[in-house]
Structure 1
Amino acid sequence: MKKIIVPVDFSEHSNYALEAASILAKKYNAEILALHMLEISETILTKGETALQDETVFFIKLAEKKFNEFLEQDFLEGINVTPIVKHFKVFSEVNDVAKEQNADMIVMGSHGSSGLKEIFVGSNTEKVVRHADIPVLVIKNKPTTLSFDNVVFASDFTEKSVTPYLNATKLFKTLGSKLHLLYVNTPGDNFNSSQEIEQTVADFLTKADGDLSQLDNVKYVADYTVEKGVLNFANVSGADAIAIATHGRTGFTHFLSGSISEDIANHSSLPVITFKIK
């Protein structure tokens, strides 16, 4: 891991993301690219060329000043931090910066859920996740520590999850993580017998890895919903993070049914890492 992008809007949660990135940067000697999206309003865009240039320069200079203040934090000491200001209007373009910079990961802060209101879905974080080709680490709390010793990768073990699985395996091998593969069996139309599940997983691993060497790392749990199964397993297994697959066209993939991945990302107190289905 050499480069980590942190989209910054100078909020408390982007500060959490920056601190999380600093922990990773120190551990893996990586560079942090602090990215501020200068969202220019339609009012400014409709002005004359000279006025547009003058006002754009003003806002860029203001953002650069905020960067200097925002990046004066003790946890960034000794880390190579590069501030980047882009006058983009949409967060999907974070992926363009990731490609330009050959970044390895995006770290973003998110409010998650508050009571019955789901804030994560439809937020800027979700927009970045939807378009990002590289893994996105979602942080919702101040990271006192950040470890990836034990990571739960939840999957339905269908063909579309092969690429996210391979990308997750590659990343977590680099991070020295123990990857726990998880299948959650639920009642109703999605219920499968033990034999059916074992065959599905065996076919998946054969296609993805070419062998069944990871079969012993697959855990099977039964619960009322996939979300509950994943969160409960992560809790009892002492997981440090949860990994899930996402679909670029529709945001989080519904890897069995319903808004499963959105629910996990919203309600998990653990960091969530997303991998895009391609």
Structure 2
Amino acid sequence: MKTIIVPIDFSDHSEYALKTASFIAKKQDAQILAVHMLDIQSDHFNESSSYIQEKTAFLLQLAKKRFHAFLKKDYLKDLKVTPLVKHFKVFSEINDLAKEENADLIIMGSHGASGLKELFIGSNTEKVIRFSEIPVMVIKKDLKDFDFENVVYATDFSLESIDAYVRIKSITEGFKGKIHVVYVNTPYENFKTTPEMEKMAADFFGIADGNIENLKSTTFVSDRSVEKGILSFSNSVGADLIAMSTHARKGLSHFFKGSLSEDVANHASLPILTVKI
């Protein structure tokens, strides 16, 4: 891992993400790109172009000044941290930046969302998860321990998620933690018998790992929803991190089918690592 992107809005939650990024960067000799998205609204038709330019220049200088103060942290010493101010209006553009900079990971803070706000608006974190082509780690609180010793990897054992599983393994191996693989069996249309679950897992690991050794350490749990099963299992093993693959659904597909990774990222207090399928 060489480059980590951290979106900064100068809030406590973005500092939580920055702290986590500093820990990972030190462990893996990576640099940090701290990005502030300067939202310049261009829909004010009664404002002249010269006024908008002056306003943009003023806000840009203000952001740079705040950045300078925000990045004066002891935990950032001896790290390469590059502050960037971008004229982003939508969080999907972070993905473009990630490709330009050949970044390996995005780490961002989030307080989640709930109720009508979650349904109709969603959080900025959800938008990044939905559009990002590189792994995204979501930090919900100020972590006291950055050693991700117990990582829960939640999977449906679909063959299309194998590449995401391999990427997650690569990232978590850098933490030197133990991966707890979990499959959640629900009582409705996706119900599987024990032999069916074991066969799915064996086929998955046979292709992904070249062996089925991880089948021994895989846990099959039953719950009323996949999300509840993941959170309950994570609590039972004392997880430090939940890792998942995501289809990153957009538009009407996302509205009607939802996104499990976004739901877990919204509702879990643990850090979440998502990788797009």
Q: Same fold (TM over 0.5)?
A: yes
- Displacement of 1:118 in angstroms is 6.0
Distance, in Å, in 2 between the alignment partners of 1:42 and 1:186 is 47
Share of identical aligned residues, percent? 51
Evaluate the alpha carbon distance shift between residue 267 and residue 43 of structure 1 in structure 2; reply closer, same or farther with a 3 A threshold.
closer
Please name the residue that 1:32 is paired with.
Answer: 32
* Contact persistence 1:150–1:240 (CA under 8 A): yes
* Contact persistence 1:44–1:55 (CA under 8 A): no
Distance, in Å, in 1 between the alignment partners of 2:258 and 2:14 is 29
> Which structure 1 segments of 5+ residues have no match?
none
Give the match's secondary structure for 1:42. coil
Distance, in Å, in 2 between the alignment partners of 1:176 and 1:233 is 21
Please name the residue that 1:12 is paired with.
Answer: 12
- Displacement of 1:138 in angstroms is 0.3
Give the match's secondary structure for 2:189. helix
Range moving further from structure 2, 39-48 or 191-200: 39-48
* Contact persistence 1:153–1:244 (CA under 8 A): yes
* Contact persistence 1:25–1:31 (CA under 8 A): yes
- Displacement of 1:133 in angstroms is 1.2
* Contact persistence 1:108–1:138 (CA under 8 A): yes
* Contact persistence 1:112–1:118 (CA under 8 A): no
Evaluate the alpha carbon distance shift between residue 54 and residue 92 of structure 1 in structure 2; reply closer, same or farther with a 3 A threshold.
same
- Displacement of 1:134 in angstroms is 1.1
Please name the residue that 1:150 is paired with.
Answer: 150
Matches within 5 A, 1:84-103: 84-103=84-103
Matches within 5 A, 1:242-253: 242-250=242-250
Range moving further from structure 2, 128-137 or 72-81: 72-81
Does residue 187 of the first structure (1) align with residue 187 of the second (2)? yes
Q: What one-letter code is carried by the residue in structure 2 that aligns with 1:28?
A: Q
Distance, in Å, in 2 between the alignment partners of 1:113 and 1:47 is 34
TM-score normalised by the chain length of structure 2: 0.89
Distance, in Å, in 1 between the alignment partners of 2:23 and 2:45 is 39
Give the match's secondary structure for 1:89. coil
Evaluate the alpha carbon distance shift between residue 46 and residue 173 of structure 1 in structure 2; reply closer, same or farther with a 3 A threshold.
farther
Please name the residue that 1:216 is paired with.
Answer: 216
Give the match's secondary structure for 1:147. coil
Distance, in Å, in 2 between the alignment partners of 1:139 and 1:206 is 32
Give the match's secondary structure for 2:33. strand
Write out per-residue CA displacement over residues 74-103 of structure 1, whole angstroms, 9 at most, x where no aligned residue. Answer: 322332211001112111111111111111
Give the match's secondary structure for 1:176. coil
Give the match's secondary structure for 2:238. coil
Please name the residue that 2:76 is paired with.
Answer: 76
Distance, in Å, in 1 between the alignment partners of 2:143 and 2:71 is 17
Q: What one-letter code is carried by the residue in structure 1 that aligns with 2:274?
A: T
Does residue 139 of the first structure (1) align with residue 130 of the second (2)? no
Give the match's secondary structure for 1:243. strand
Give the match's secondary structure for 2:78. coil
- Displacement of 1:196 in angstroms is 0.7
Number of positions where the alignment pairs a residue of Structure 1 with one of Structure 2: 273
Write out per-residue CA displacement over residues 54-82 of structure 1, whole angstroms, 9 at most, x where no aligned residue. Answer: 33222211110110111122322332211
Q: What one-letter code is carried by the residue in structure 1 that aligns with 2:186?
A: T
Does residue 112 of the first structure (1) align with residue 128 of the second (2)? no
Range moving further from structure 2, 221-230 or 126-135: 221-230
Q: What one-letter code is carried by the residue in structure 2 that aligns with 1:222?
A: S
> Which structure 2 segments of 5+ residues have no match?
none
Distance, in Å, in 1 between the alignment partners of 2:228 and 2:9 is 32
* Contact persistence 1:154–1:182 (CA under 8 A): yes
Give the match's secondary structure for 1:219. strand
Distance, in Å, in 2 between the alignment partners of 1:73 and 1:183 is 40
Give the match's secondary structure for 2:35. strand
* Contact persistence 2:246–2:259 (CA under 8 A): no
Please name the residue that 2:56 is paired with.
Answer: 56
Give the match's secondary structure for 2:243. strand
Does residue 233 of the first structure (1) align with residue 233 of the second (2)? yes
Evaluate the alpha carbon distance shift between residue 84 and residue 139 of structure 1 in structure 2; reply closer, same or farther with a 3 A threshold.
same
Q: What one-letter code is carried by the residue in structure 2 that aligns with 1:129?
A: I
